[in-house]
Structure 1
Amino acid sequence: MRVQEKMKKPVLEAKYLNVENTDRYRPIIRLFYLKYEKLKYWLYQEEVFEELKEDPYFEEYTMEQCQQDLAALTSWGNLVTIQDTRKVTTIEEFKNKKFRYQLSETAVEIERMVIRLENLFIEGSSLEPTLLERIRLNLGKIEEMAEKEEEKLYSWWNDLNNDFIRLNQNYQDYMRELNSVKAEEMMRTREILLFKDRLMEYLRSFVKSLQIHMTAIEQELGNVNKGAVRRILERVTAYEVSIPRIDVEVEEQMIYEKISGRWKSLVEWFVGKEGQESEAGKVFDTTHQSAACLCSRLCQRVAQACRIASFRFAERRS
């Protein structure tokens, strides 16, 4: 791994998350983000102030504080400004510099991450066998896609990568939940008995799907046309380089390394590396073992519940 110069620098745009007046900065950034989602990119200071004042928490908030907060967020790179000269009618108004504010690209990504963190335990996760099927079908199109026009090739590449990323993330999140303290506590309650059959069937279905598609995907990758893969990686790289970007330096070699690295990760996930067991094989074993372990624990829970019920019944009779 090469430690680039920009990796050594602090991310000032994240400063608003953990400083004095964070309780004011975060609502402002969230307001801009919500407006951004609705395609309203620019806001005046007065609009920000009015929106915040609608919440009782900002009852004593002043226009001066709002101006200071916007200035701080601008200095950290969260907001970009442009002077609005359209409404200027006098020299005095021009000197007062009426600005419009917009969320910076970096701030958009940071706020997306924050929202994701806020909903980490609300959204939940799932095991999706359909992702495996889509990956298998897309891998079967490699030679065909190598000759397609750039837009279709790029769309196919993104679909393949997004499915692979979701497969990894969803599996990890679901297994984390299944082995969490909350799940352990639920094992001691009656609720687990109500949906144990659905849970076991859910895990078995994923294991079965993984077993079927894993073999097919491994065969697809083993017989893949390496020349077609190389052309795809080069063409996808060229397409990404050709995308117009504002104030962003694009290094073709870095993009190629990213794209080829993703392909390599996908291959190693399903096929393995240098004789080592593939990650897909480990996922299969882990899920299978988890299902077996869960089944054993559920049986113990059912047996315990039966013993308690029998004991209470005997007590009532005596």
Structure 2
Amino acid sequence: TGTPGAYTLGFTQDDAGATAIAVTLTTREGGTAPYIDITLAPAPAAAVPAPVVKSIAVTGIDQVEKGSTATATTAVTDSLGREFTGATVTYTSKDTGIATVTSAGKVTGVSTGTTRITATATAGQVTVSSQVSVSVVDSTRLRVYATADGWAQSSTPTVGYGSAGGSTIKAPWNGSPDRVAYATFDLSALAGKTVTSAVISAEMVISETRDGQNVSRVDAHATTGSFTEAGLTYQNRPTLTDTVGSFVVDRTKKIVTSDLTASIAAAATGTPGAYTLGFTQDDAGATAIAVTLTTREGGTAPYIDITLAP
């Protein structure tokens, strides 16, 4: 106790009397110095510092259905990588028009698109945060673009125009050739689904100069057979069957639409696959006038917007 230092022992024979007898104690110089074995109580353990929040990770909200909710799962860890349970966690949405989030991390899809949800963990004077991208989808709506398109004409029956930036459409009249356009759409994603509406959009414009005629009608037909862009000719073109929709076209190049609900709903039954439309001018007679339909190669492929039953 106190301040320990030199500790000296003296050796004798207390009260030996007649039994006193010489004893030799080996010294350091004799090669075996006396020594003391001491056992000490263990030193007190060092104090463990209080844990500090280090990071937060967010999962479970990468994709949310429009109108539905998903709840974020967060993992808060300290500087040693251990679970940290003492933090206050809050959430914010970058774009509440796409997705909202509550203080409990429940995300609601508002409209289709992508936004970012930020989760923030605070403990004491330390704050950490993490962002996750959230996509809001609407599985009841589907846009299908043409996978192949092109046109052919009767005056060059073995020549195809599948790589052109625009397809020409014009009904035959008074010796002029028949010019028919085609587009194919992949409807395989409709398997097992119920179609409630389907609207085709295509960019068209009257491309022939004729005084007094500024409006024309283009008709969409179901077909039998198939084609490839490289192989399409008038000789091997798909055969036109029922008229399934019509467009009104003028001299302003723009997107025009037509309702194909009945035809697409019928095509979706069974095992849907390639769906090919032919474009012509039914019974145009003397009013037949050339219309150009912009193709995939022209930068604006025809597409069909489809609404499915939930």
TM-score range, shorter chain: under 0.3
Higher relative contact order (CA 8 A, sep 6+): 2
Whose strand fraction is larger, Structure 1's or Structure 2's?
A: 2
TM-score (norm 1): 0.21
Whose helix fraction is larger, Structure 1's or Structure 2's?
A: 1
TM-score (norm 2): 0.22
Structure ID, larger Rg? 2
